[in-house]
Amino acid sequence: MNVEEIISKVLQKVRPTGEERTFVSELMEELKGIAAETIGELGLDVKAHFVGSLAKDTYLAGDHDIDLFLAFPLETPLEELREKGLKLGKAIAERLDSYQLAYAEHPYVRAAYRGVSVDLVPCYDVRDWRDVKTAVDRSILHTEWVNEHLNGRNDEVRLLKRFLKGINAYGSEIYIRGFSGYLSEILVVKYGSFLGVLESTDLMLRQKVIDPGNWLKREPELAMKTLKREVEADRPLVVIDPVDPRRNVAANLSWEKYGRLYFKARTFLKEPSLEFFFPEADGIGSYLRELRERGTHLLTLLFEKPDLIDDVLLPQLEKSAKGLERALAREGFGVLGWDTGYSGRRAFLMLELERIERGRVRIRPGPEFFTERALDFYAKNETVWIEGKRLYTEKKVTENVVDVVLSLLEKNQVPLGKNLREAIRGADVLVDYVPHELKREAYLFLRRERKRIK
Amino acid sequence: MNVEEIISKVLQKVRPTGEERTFVSELMEELKGIAAETIGELGLDVKAHFVGSLAKDTYLAGDHDIDLFLAFPLETPLEELREKGLKLGKAIAERLDSYQLAYAEHPYVRAAYRGVSVDLVPCYDVRDWRDVKTAVDRSILHTEWVNEHLNGRNDEVRLLKRFLKGINAYGSEIYIRGFSGYLSEILVVKYGSFLGVLESTDLMLRQKVIDPGNWLKREPELAMKTLKREVEADRPLVVIDPVDPRRNVAANLSWEKYGRLYFKARTFLKEPSLEFFFPEADGIGSYLRELRERGTHLLTLLFEKPDLIDDVLLPQLEKSAKGLERALAREGFGVLGWDTGYSGRRAFLMLELERIERGRVRIRPGPEFFTERALDFYAKNETVWIEGKRLYTEKKVTENVVDVVLSLLEKNQVPLGKNLREAIRGADVLVDYVPHELKREAYLFLRRERKRIK
């Protein structure tokens, strides 16, 4: 298949059907009505705006979560906005199927309606960047800007998003640090098309700055300040937000994720294939065979997943894995890599180890030989010698990594994510074995499938 | 056996017999005659002095090496003393059985006569410390001082020396750093007897200073300077030389060797036994069984012993063992201890290792992903991923410690003693096996027999 054929195949899958479009439009109309009615009943001066990929018509087929922003007048005090916004969100959600509270900078309502997730988010009704007061206020401006500038290239955005998902570089969450939807849209506006973006990854990196709002001319002082700050923070890209000269749209983009696009774009253009967009279901291999071939070992800690959102849980899992890596290295167990995640109600830490047993003899220093304590030490230990002024002995030590891990956890010598401490201390510790539901995870981890670019 | 019985048994062994005494006296008479005659023939103004344990009658039975010092007038220029001293030594030695040159601060002659080693050492005929010009000049003064102060306690010195030898704390050589004969004599003079010394090891350490020459009164300034310097150098003891206030007789005594006396004296006084003086021939155990029981491994480098004296060879062997220890630790092989030495014409380094194989997979960093070299790296390696800006790959690495050692030596990555480099680079590298003549060494090393105090 050549590039055109591939793109056409991908579009068949990512472009919403007429049916889906109709369903979504009706849903939005209906929600708009419910919102207006509720606002009226509560006697509020609030405008309801749809934002996000649905409002921009850049959503992927089947992926149509709704973001409904409830915009309060600028003069509303922040406390009042939080309180009334939440009240309004709840009142709207009462008329939908179900809801729960969620937390970002402010609390908001996450409802479900006719099988679709609907976020009801209070914000200020800003006209431009000077009005921005909370992190979410820009969303309305972003939606307007994209709708003004995309000029019908919506499917190009869909292609780019699907490509980024396929190569595991999509998502601006703090635990992902990839490309956001808005950043994808800006890149398509800037480079004209999906292929235009792919062909520009080297140029983009070298130019460093993308300024679609022309802020460097319009607000040189502010824009230069942003540029300087972001360059100093060593970001791969500085994309000055076309709706706010103070912000780098790519501030959360990591070098790793940029590097994935960089290499994958290059290889796609050389040898295009559908696999970049839809990687074949991997994980069919055996993790046990991987372990045998690599001559390494797999240590897995399996524990009850605390009831936390991913934004909180995943960074804490990473912190815990890193803590365990350091603690084990100090104990003489070299760690080649780690992975974390959860499956159903159980979370896991996986570490690949060079070995799972260590030498039986360990040297232990004691007190200086001429002290009171030295006599104790001498009496208590079977073998004693002197180095410098100090007595030493040797001890048979815990040999297996499982005993070492349990002892480290018991003695509180592993830095763990604060909400995970209890759970991890009660973890099952498995060596070279994982339960059925983690077999695929183990295989992907040992092959570094998620992070490798080759 | 009680202490008296033990001491009496030891004395039977260490006190020279009448026969030995007669042999030694005759030998000394004869040598004195030969020396006088040779001095006369060469027309020199030199006095021949016997020094050392023979001259002090503190030698152990069977251990009667002779030190004959050739004392030149103080006004002799140093160059002349060296030249004429060596000439005289050779002329004397020509009349004995055989000789060779040896080197300390000055060259001297080491001869053999009737099965006894005879050192012929040129020195100045000093009257007191103010005259001392070379390191050996004090020996005559030492001999005089001991003979004046020992008051018949010669056997007490023999007991102490034998004890120190038995517990492996005797010998002032730079690679031993134990008690010298002269220091043993001073301690007996100070504490009155062998048992007096043993009972004073704690007191001695706390008082720190021994000043049998009363220099702190007689030459307070000089003696305080010595004291200050030696305390700052953190010596276990400061024994101001009764013949020279500038010198600490215990300057070369290490904390380790002092610690051995400290602990062994204590345990001897509690549970006296002949073993302290004459440890049972150890080394009857199997090093292979030790390895099995300890769960560790023995790495031995065996190579041709360069033709060097112990003073030069042994410190270089130690340096090389330490260098290898550090290099192996960096490579992931934990070293639990090391030993060095030689047997016949072959020298060895032995290291006890936690393991002899290491994991097959090793992470290797590559260039930054957006560089020219990154494309090479990407093309060349089978697995590639990005961390930060950098590409990484994993490699199968040399697994066995032997390959690692050979590769380290080849790449010159082990700091070695400078006269050993060539020899060690051509060493045989053995794992968990030593040739017959090193079996005992291996056993003693693994059991830490030479350094343990319990």
Q: Cβ–Cβ of A386/B256 closer than 8 Å?
A: yes
Does A412 share its domain with A366?
no
Average pLDDT over residues B101-119: 89
Per-residue pLDDT of B129-153, as tens digits, reads 999 998 899 999 999 999 999 999 9
The residue ranges of DSSP E strands in A410-454, in sequence order, are 428-431
Residue A436 included in any domain = yes
Q: Are residues A219 and A328 in the same domain?
A: no
Residue of A nearest to B177 (CA): A388
Distance from CA of B275 to the nearest CA of A (A): 18
pLDDT band with cut points at 50, 70 and 90 for residue A281: low
User: Cβ B255–A388 below 8 Å, yes or no?
Assistant: yes
B381/A contact by beta carbon, under 8 A: yes
**A365 touches B at CB < 8 Å:** no
A180-215: per-residue pLDDT in tens?
999 999 999 999 999 999 999 999 999 999 999 999
List the structure tokens of A136.
């979410």
As a whole number, mean pLDDT of residues B58-84 equals: 94
Last residue of a domain, one of A276, A305, A338: A276
B260, B384, B399 ranked by CB distance to A453: nearest: B384
Same domain membership, residue B183 and residue B317: no
Compare all CA atoms of chain B with the CA of A203 and give the residue at the minimum distance: B370
Closest-approach residue (CA) in chain B for A292: B360
Judging contacts by C-beta atoms under 8 Å, the chain B residues touching residue A359 are 295-296, 334, 336, 353-355
Chain A with chain B: Cβ pairs closer than 8 A: 124
Nearest Cα of chain B lies from the Cα of A378 at a distance, in angstroms, of: 8
- Please check whether residues B440 and B295 belong to one and the same domain: yes
Q: What band does B281 get if pLDDT is binned at 50, 70 and 90?
A: low
Which residue among B334, B359, B452 sits closest to A359, beta carbon to beta carbon? B334
Domain count of the fold of chain A: 4
pLDDT tens digit string along A128-177? 999 999 889 999 999 999 999 999 999 999 999 999 999 999 998 888 89
Shared domain for A132 and A161, answered yes or no, is no
Is B89 part of any domain?
yes
Instruction: Identify the domain boundary among B251, B276, B301.
Output: B276
Chain B residue closest to A258 (CA)?
B389
Report angle CA B41, B45, B48 to the nearest 5 degrees.
85
Let me know if residue A169 belongs to a domain: yes
Statement to judge: residues A322 and A380 lie in one domain: no
Residue B51 lies inside a defined structural domain of this protein: yes
- Would residue B298 count as lying in a domain? yes
Last residue of a domain, one of A108, A137, A166: A137
Shortest CA gap A7–chain B (Å): 26
Shared domain check, A155 and A63? no
Residue among B355, B363, B369 minimizing CB distance to A263: B369
Categorize the per-residue pLDDT at A355 as very low, low, confident or very high, splitting at 50, 70 and 90: confident
What residue of A is the nearest CA neighbor of B380? A454
Whether B259 and A386 lie within 8 Å, measured CB to CB: yes
pLDDT in tens, B318-333: 999 999 999 998 888 8
Nearest to B383 among A369, A370, A454 (CB): A454
A295 closest CB neighbour out of B260, B361, B385: B361
Same domain, A374 and A428: no
Contact status of A103 with chain B (Cβ, < 8 Å): no
A282 found inside a domain? no
Residues A154 and A260 in one domain: yes
Smallest Cβ–Cβ distance between A259 and the set B202, B256, B386 belongs to B386
Q: What is the 3-state secondary structure (H, E, C) of chain B?
A: CCHHHHHHHHHHHHCCCHHHHHHHHHHHHHHHHHHHHHHHHHCCCCEEEEEHHHHHCCCCCCCCCEEEEEEECCCCCHHHHHHHHHHHHHHHHHCCCEEEEEECCCEEEEEEECCEEEEEEEEECCCCHHHCCCHHHHHHHHHHHHHHHCCCCHHHHHHHHHHHHHCCCECCCCCCCCECHHHHHHHHHHHCCHHHHHHCHHHHHHHCEECCCCHHHHCHHHHHHHHHHHHHCCCCCEEECCCCCCCECCCCCCHHHHHHHHHHHHHHHHCCCHHHCCCCCCCCCCHHHHHHHHCCEEEEEEEECCCCCHHHHHHHHHHHHHHHHHHHHHCCCCEEEEEEEEECCEEEEEEEECCCECCCEEEEEEEECCCHHHHHHHHHCCCCEEECCEEEEEEECCCEHHHHHHHHHHCCCCCCCCCCHHHHHCCEEEECCCCHHHHHHHHHHHCCCCCECC
CATH of the domain at A154: 1.10.1410.30
Q: Band of the pLDDT at A332, cuts 50, 70, 90? A: confident
**Is A178 part of a structural domain of the chain?**
yes
B233 close contact with A: CB closer than 8 A? no
Residues 278-297 of B with CB under 8 A from A: 294-296
| B77 pLDDT above the threshold of 80 | yes
pLDDT for res B292:
86
pLDDT in tens, B219-257: 999 999 999 999 999 999 999 999 999 999 999 999 999
Q: What confidence category does residue A308 fall into, taking pLDDT thresholds of 50, 70 and 90?
A: confident
Question: By the CB < 8 Å criterion, does A372 face chain B?
Answer: no
Alpha-carbon dihedral angle through residues B370, B374, B375, B380, given to the nearest 10 degrees: -160
Set of chain B residues whose Cβ sits within 8 Å of the Cβ of A360: 294-296
- Shared domain check, B192 and B99: no
- B283 has pLDDT over 70: no
Domain that holds residue A317: 294-358+399-446
Residue in chain B lying closest to A296 (CA): B359
Q: Are residues B118 and B193 in the same domain?
A: no
CATH number at residue B98: 3.30.460.10
How close B255 comes to chain A (CA, Å)?
5
Contact of A448 with chain B, judged by CB distance below 8 Å, is answered with yes
- Whether pTM exceeds 0.90: no
Query: Of A202, A387, A452, which has the smallest distance from its Cβ to B385's Cβ?
Result: A452
The answer to whether A453 faces chain B, any CB pair under 8 Å, is: yes
Which chain B residues have a beta carbon less than 8 Å from that of A256? 386-388
Mean pLDDT computed over every residue of chain A: 92
Q: Render A74-122 in DSSP notation, one character per residue.
A: TTS-HHHHHHHHHHHHHHHHHTSSEEEEEESSSEEEEEEETTEEEEEEE
